[in-house]
Amino acid sequence: MREKILALLKEKSPSFVSGAEMAGRLSVSRTAVWKNVNLLQADGYRIERSPRLGYRLQEVPDLLYPLEFAGDLETKIIAAERRLIHYHRQVDSTAEVIKKLAEKGAPEGTIVLAEEQTGGRGRMGRSWYSPFAGGIWLHILLRPPLTPAQTPLLTLLASVAVTKAIRRLLPHVEAGIKWPNDVLVRGRKVCGILTELKAEPDIIHYVITGIGINVNIDAGKFRTELKDTATSLYLENKNNRVSRQKLTAFVLEEMDTFYRQYLSAGSLPVIEEWKKYSITLGEEVTIKNVLDVFWGKAVDVDSSGALVVEGKNGLRRHFQAGEVTLRGTGR
Ligand code: BTN
């Protein structure tokens, strides 16, 4: 209901719209209109009230109501229609919500966005700090006609899309990618990406990609253990707030473009873009996976997205998964 009221206020803005007209058009009582206007005001919308003329929208907060970011969205698959966008104020984790939708047969391109996650999850069973309106907490559902072996590329693809979106919005912020898909600025993590899939050996049922971008989070808000390793776009933008609405639209557009390109042209263009933004290649790294720890120089990414690391003895190993530490920075 709140969104419908908002749509009417926007349609009439900068003019007033009467409570009676809204109630009539939405087939609800005027009290219901009044209550929902109160809720919008509590969200930060500035709405003028006049006993004679009704309500008038004056200022919009940086919330991710689909109406606020999806109006001019130029995507063909991802969030390409309003019905594909599932917006929540608070969830445990967008992963839970999108999994349920996927299991019920939701179409490719469905997205879930939340203003806040109370149980946001990171890689390796870690938690992911997701305060209200502090970042972009997003999940995307894809049903690619690929084999499970080809999915690591989707993870790389998401990091390229986020990096490009950040640079499009904030050209002076030098976002780069640590293999496979952490987006860092000045050595600190600004975005984490988590991909899960449901598949049989040769067919994918669905892939869900979770993207968490720290946007307007102040330094003091990060937990102690994140203080030296995490950053936000607000901090990298000289303590100026960054539009989550614009960034969300850019991320979805870049994801859509790269995904369609991947399906039509294969992995090479994605890998080329990934290499452009890589902060891993050419560095001495430590890579840890479930089996062992390996030291060497990160020399390449192969066509499947695996990191190629060359050990002291010249031996090259291809890693499909693992945690990389850049030896110079310890990150
Ligand atoms: C990482 O540890 O680097 C991955 C972090 C992924 C966080 C995002 S936020 C939106 C989505 N929902 C979650 O619970 N996690 C992902």
pLDDT over threshold 80, residue 288: yes
Asked if residue 210 has its Cβ within 6 Å of ligand 1, the reply is yes
* 176: region left, alpha or beta (phi > 0 left; psi from -120 to 50 alpha): beta
Nearest CA to ligand 1 atom 9: 212
Asked whether 122 lines ligand 1 (CB < 6 A), one says yes
- Give residue 43's pLDDT band: very low, low, confident or very high (50, 70, 90): confident
How many residues in the chain? 331
- pLDDT > 70 in the chain, percent: 99
Quote the pLDDT of residue 34.
Answer: 94
Helix axes 30-43, 2-12, angle to 10 degrees: 90
Report the separation in Å between the CA atom of 306 and the middle of ligand 1, taken as the mean of its atom positions. 21
How close is the Cα of 43 to the center of ligand 1, in Å? 25
Residue type, 107: P
Ligand 1 site, residue 94, Cβ cutoff 6 A: yes
Which stretches of 144-239 are assigned E, i.e. beta strand? 175-178, 182-185, 188-200, 203-214
Tell me the pLDDT tens digit for each residue of 201-238: 889 999 999 999 999 999 888 887 787 899 999 999 99
Q: Determine the pLDDT at residue 27.
A: 95
Average pLDDT over residues 241-261: 98
Mean pLDDT confidence for 137-162? 94
For residue 224, the model assigns a pLDDT of: 76
pLDDT tier at 329, thresholds 50, 70, 90: low
pLDDT of residue 330: 60
H helices within 239-306, ranges in order? Answer: 244-265, 268-277
**Mean pLDDT of all residues belonging to the chain:** 94
Q: Ligand 1 test: best mutation among 128, 140, 193, 229, most atoms within 8 Å of CB?
A: 128
Cβ neighbours of residue 313 closer than 8 Å, sequence gap 6 or more? none
Ligand 1 atom nearest 191 alpha carbon:
3
